[in-house]
Chains A and B, each alone.
Chain A
Amino acid sequence: MTRILSPESPIGIPKASLAPSPSVLAGRRIAVLDNRKPHARLLMETMARRVAERTNAELVLVTSKATAATPAEPEILQQLAASDLVITGSAD
Chain B
Amino acid sequence: MVAPQQAPGAGASDELDVVDESPETLYALCRERGWGDGLPIVAPTPQRVDAMLAAHGGDPDRSVGLVPPRDGEATLRALAVNAVMAGCEPGTLGVIEAAVRALLHPEVNLRGVQATTHPVAPLLIVHGEVVDLLGFNAATGTFGPGWRANATVGRAIRFVLMHVGGGYPDRGDASTQGQPSKYTYCIAENAAACPWPTYPRSRGVDAPSAVTVHCGENPHNFHDMESDEPVRILTKAASAMATLAPNNAPISQAEFFVVLGPEHAATIASCGWSRTDVQSFLFEATRLPRRVLRSAFDVLAWRPWLLAIDDDDELLPMTEHPDNYRVLVAGGPGKHSCVVPSWGMTKSVTLPVEA
Contacts and interface: CB of A to CB of B under 8 A. Distances in A.
Nearest to B113: A69
A7 B18 CA distance: 15
B16 A4 contact: yes
Nearest to B156: A7
Nearest to B115: A69
B73 A3 contact: no
Contact of A3 (B15, B343, B345): B15
B6 to A, nearest CB: 9
Contact of A70 (B78, B109, B117, B159): B109
B66 A13 contact: yes
Contact of B345 (A4, A11, A13, A70): A70
A2 B81 contact: no
A36 B299 contact: yes
Contacts of A91: 117, 174
B12 A3 contact: no
Contact of B71 (A5, A12, A69): A12
B85 interface: yes
Nearest to B116: A69
A92 interface: yes
A4 B45 contact: yes
Given A69-B109, A70-B109, A70-B345, A5 B46 contact: yes
Contacts of B345: 67, 69-70
B264 interface: no
Give the contact-size bracket for chain A.
Answer: 20 to 34
Give the contact-size bracket for chain B.
Answer: 35 or more
Given A10-B11, A38-B298, A71-B111, A5 B73 contact: no
A6 B7 CA distance: 13
B163 interface: yes
Contacts, number: 106
B309 interface: no
Chain A contact residues, majority secondary structure: loop
A58 B236 CA distance: 56
Interface in A1-46: 1-13, 15, 36, 38
Interface in A55-80: 66-67, 69-71
Contact of A8 (B9, B29, B298, B343): B9
Contact of B15 (A6, A15, A36): A6
Nearest to A71: B111
A64 to B, nearest CB: 10
A12 B343 CA distance: 27
A15 to B, nearest CB: 7
B11 A2 contact: no
Contacts of A4: 15-18, 29, 43-45
13 contacts: A3-B16, A3-B17, A4-B18, A7-B78, A7-B81, A7-B164, A9-B78, A10-B73, A12-B63, A12-B71, A69-B112, A69-B343, A92-B117
Interface of B: 5, 9-21, 29, 35, 43-46, 49, 63, 66, 70-75, 77-78, 81-82, 85, 109, 111-112, 116-117, 159, 163-164, 174, 176, 298-299, 301, 343-345
- Nearest first, the 9 closest Cβ-Cβ pairs linking A and B are A9-B78, A69-B345, A8-B11, A7-B163, A12-B66, A69-B112, A12-B73, A10-B12, A9-B72
